[in-house]
Structure 1
Amino acid sequence: MSRWSRGWPGALKARAARYALQRWIGPFLQEPLRLEQLGLDLGGGTGTLRGLRLRAQAVDELLLGAGAPLELLEGRVGAVTVAVPWAALGTEPVTLRVTELRLLLRPRQEGGRAWLSPGVGAGLDSRSPLRGLEALALTIESVLRRLRVVLEGRS
């Protein structure tokens, strides 16, 4: 095997992860994710994103849709680390650790418009013939019910 081809599996994994993350959280970020911001250890079950600047308007629209009395003006995240316990995924929590979270919030102004993204809250139709997809959704829901979020400040 040539020397240059040894790096491909890791590089392909990182690019695939970046692509998926960009699709899921990209609308809430001020700039597209860069590979340098992503750290992956898929075998160990961890992934980290560093240096994220939030797109305040997109995040605030979610807050407004949830009826939050505060509005986000600016936000940054030093790092987000996800730990997935692959061997005990059905029984142990997935841990989401957020460090150096900085949010500039203010009380919501009167007359704010209501908003709900077309995709938010859309569930699977119970009459859908896609039983495998429903089973996957139920599994993901089961894992997310045990999600543990840790917010850490700078010490």
Structure 2
Amino acid sequence: MAYDDDLPTLELAFPGPERDRGVAAIRNGEKTALTGLLEIYAHAGEDVPRAGQRFAVLDSAARPAVTIELTDVRVVPMKEIDDAFARAEGRGYADAAQWRTAHEEFFRGAGVSEFLGRTPVIDGDTLVVAQSFRVVGPEEPRDG
């Protein structure tokens, strides 16, 4: 499998079972969406991704596992995430309410709090980066 070494990398959650399940769900087509906390991008000094960008998704051993291309990126309050997007996350959420409960717990968790240096306030108005994507590799060559 060949990967484009120039691609930025993307890490789902934190290394371990949750990341491994997410990578497997991307590879088998169950996961076509992901969500990031806007505050994490700001704290890391990173730009919000944009549609058309490609990323090498890393597994728990920090190896490229699959290449994705973002097809849609929206910055929205958590309360605007709908059932279809929640199900597209490929984590077995039945609806947006389950998605929100899981994401509130994750975003308030120890890993995010440690990274930010504090526990963030998470509610319906909290801005998230809702991203839809398609798998493009590693088999497909990168355009331009």
Scaled by the length of structure 1, what TM-score is found? 0.26
Q: TM-score normalized by structure 2?
A: 0.27
Which structure has the higher relative contact order (CA within 8 Å, separation 6+)?
Answer: 2
